[in-house]
């Protein structure tokens, strides 16, 4: 009888210890403050501050621009979550990161959904239907800012590359007008005939083209033939 109770007591102690440990560990992780995935939302705080001003109150144009900046910051956060979520999920499955980082990401995603709905409602409070186009507008403004930053950094990057490789680029400086290339004069028919005869790359003339060429070649001598026929008729009449 004692031989049966010993393994049963051992199993109860082991599983009971694991249960108690998991219970207290869950309480510890739930009570611990999870670090936010994003930092403070300065654009949202600025818009709320401007909206709460009363002496003097902020103009509608200033509030609209602040709301667009807030939407641009939200677009940046949406892009970051979209890029980080698959990689973070793969790292979580491998055990590289803990559950607290994943929980922080999910909390930030829910907070961002509420933020987007709030921005849409604020935009509709200014102009009806603006909430449907404010985020596409913010996305276009972000793309324009990136293009402007790349354009402004072109000269600096070019100077760095020239210093690094010791080769000067052949690009003209900004604002230098480019001269049009001279238009070549049309070559004479004799030059065309010489070039076509010397180079064997000229296409063969078709039958229609040969007839036109022969008629053109005979055209200069046709007035002389007409004059000779007229003079012969006049001589016959005189005789």
List, for residues 146-165, the tens digit of each pLDDT value: 999 999 998 888 888 888 88
- The CA radius of gyration of the chain, in Å to the nearest whole number, is 43
More confident residue, 121 or 32: 121
Mean predicted lDDT score pLDDT of the chain: 75
The answer to whether 81 and 109 are in contact (CB under 8 A) is yes
Domain assignments of the chain as residue spans, ordered by start = 40-165
Instruction: Please tell me the predicted confidence (pLDDT) of residue 10.
Output: 81
Residue 188 has pLDDT above 80, yes or no: no
Q: Kindly indicate the confidence band of residue 167, based on its pLDDT and cuts at 50, 70 and 90.
A: confident
Residue with tokens 């930053």: 149
The answer to whether 129 and 59 are in contact (CB under 8 A) is no
CA-based nearest residue to 105, from 91, 120, 121, 119: 91
Question: pLDDT of 35-89, one tens digit each?
Answer: 788 989 999 999 999 999 888 899 999 999 999 999 999 999 999 999 999 999 9
From the centroid of its chain, how far is CA 17?
57
Burial (CB count <10 Å: 0-12, 13-18, 19+), residue 87: exposed
Residue 62 CA to residue 68 CA, distance in Å, equals 10
């Amino acid at each position: 009888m004692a031989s049966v109770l010993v393994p049963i007591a051992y199993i109860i102690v082991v599983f009971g210890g694991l249960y108690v440990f998991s219970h207290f560990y869950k309480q510890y992780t739930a009570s611990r403050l999870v670090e936010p995935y994003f930092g403070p939302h300065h654009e949202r705080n600025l818009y709320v501050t401007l909206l709460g001003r009363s002496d003097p109150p902020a103009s509608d144009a200033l509030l609209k621009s602040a709301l667009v900046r807030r939407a641009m910051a939200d677009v940046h956060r949406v892009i970051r979550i979209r890029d980080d979520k698959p990689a973070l999920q793969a790292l979580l499955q491998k055990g590289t990161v803990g559950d607290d980082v994943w929980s922080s990401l999910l909390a930030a995603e829910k907070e961002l959904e509420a933020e987007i709905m709030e921005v849409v409602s604020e935009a509709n409070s200014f102009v009806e239907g603006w909430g449907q186009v404010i985020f596409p507008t913010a996305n276009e403004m972000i793309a324009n800012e990136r293009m402007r930053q790349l354009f402004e950094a072109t000269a600096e990057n070019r100077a760095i590359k020239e210093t690094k490789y010791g080769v000067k680029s052949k690009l003209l400086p900004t604002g230098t007008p480019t001269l049009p290339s001279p238009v070549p004069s049309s070559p004479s028919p004799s030059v065309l005939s010489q070039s076509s005869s010397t180079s064997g790359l000229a296409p063969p003339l078709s039958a229609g083209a040969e007839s036109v060429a022969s008629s053109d070649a005979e055209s200069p001598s046709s007035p002389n033939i007409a004059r000779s026929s007229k003079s012969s008729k006049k001589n016959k009449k005189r005789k």
